[in-house]
Amino acid sequence: MKIIGTGSALPEKIVTNDMLAGFLETSDSWITTRTGIKTRRLLSKETLGELAITAATAALESSGVAPENIDYLICSNVANSYVTPSMSSIILGLLGCNCPCTDLNGACAGFIYALDIADAFIKTGRAKNILIVAAEEPSRFCNWHERETSVLFADGAGAVVVTEGEGFKDFRVTADTHTDVLYYKRAMEATPYDRVESKTTPLVMQGREVFKLAVRACIKDCDIILEKNGMTGEDIDMYLLHQANLRIIDSIREHLEQPKEKFPTNLQKYGNTSSASIPILMDELSRGGVLKDGMNLLLSAFGGGFVTGAAILKWSSIDYPEIEEPVHEPAV
Ligand code: COA
């Protein structure tokens, strides 16, 4: 399986650390030193569905695959205002696709989980062309009266089209039950038989625990997938890691003893966009000409659950149709 098209979309509204410090007990220096995040994009005027469609349309256009030739649509999403229908159902018809579709919740590792499933569908001949859209609005389930999570998370969408061909070498996805370190509970309707009050609990995170779990799990994933494929850290040209936190990325990089240039980041500008973070970064790097034909890439992400995903692939460059303006600023 290989990636033949990419796209991404971010909300217009830019929110700086200082803007948050205006109503939360926090500061630009706390957020910057602990996370690396300087600004984030938050949904205000747009809907998540609109972002998803923009990202998916760009991915389809760059792939050259017509919407009606997509055989399966997977949307990676943790939560949005609809429990049903799925986000994939909402965007399917608007894109002009006519195929089965489903949502997948692999938390921040959802994009890699979706790629892994797409790979299995393509290998078994169940599908030829698959559209994966990661669309996330975590800002809508953070507690905006508290500083713990609201300074970290942000909104965005990234998409890829995958098809048959040489590209992905291997996947490693893992899951381990740690449901108390990162969770968001949604209220359910009362019934005559279950009168236990059901309340929404905005995102709760034990930051230090998540930090340790994330570093440990990603290091393990990278080590195992590299060794299994007879590779070392040296053989990877670029690491596209989940854009949660610069310190987590640095810890993984130090373990792998690889130079900073191999770890592109955009979390400084966009914050943690959950499962959309890797496809947004990939789209920026690909459109910016940073990802070159034949480069070995390692993707790695972690998220609530606790789940992780890693993948190794050889990149094939994509010819993007001419556009008047770049979709957004390039990654640093
Ligand atoms: N602004 C200012 N102070 C804050 C704050 C904020 N936004 N959030 C927490 N604090 C306070 C804490 O209350 C604590 O105060 P105390 O010492 O008086 O108790 C202090 O800052 C230090 O907290 P600590 O937990 O030691 O900070 P940390 O160095 O672990 O950094 C995180 C906190 C959240 C940045 C860090 O733990 C982290 O990155 N965790 C992983 C989060 C993540 O990636 N989640 C996404 C998973 S997909």
Tens digits of pLDDT across the chain (332 residues): 999 999 999 999 999 999 999 999 999 999 999 999 999 999 999 999 999 999 999 999 999 999 999 999 999 999 999 999 999 999 999 999 999 999 999 999 999 999 999 999 999 999 999 999 999 999 999 999 999 999 999 999 999 999 999 999 999 999 999 999 999 999 998 888 987 778 999 999 999 999 999 999 999 999 999 999 999 999 999 999 999 999 999 999 999 999 999 999 999 999 999 999 999 999 999 999 999 999 999 999 999 999 999 999 999 999 998 865 656 666 65
Task: Report how far residue 59's alpha carbon sits from residue 204's, in angstroms, rounded to the nearest whole number.
Answer: 33
Strand (E) or helix (H) holding 271: none
Which 8-state DSSP code applies to residue 85? S
Residues with CB under 6 A from ligand 1: 26, 30, 34-35, 108, 147-148, 151-152, 205, 207-208, 210-211, 244-245, 248, 272, 303
309 three-class SS: strand
Atom of ligand 1 nearest to the CA of 302: 48
Cβ atoms 155, 95 nearer than 8 A: no
- Measured by CA distance, the residue closest to atom 31 of ligand 1 is 34
Q: pTM of the prediction? A: 0.96
Burial (CB < 10 A; 0-12, 13-18, 19+), residue 191, is exposed
Strand (E) or helix (H) holding 206: none
Cβ atoms 6, 282 nearer than 8 A: yes
CA of 269 to the centre of ligand 1 (A): 19
C-alpha closest to that of 6 among 164, 132, 116, 114? 132
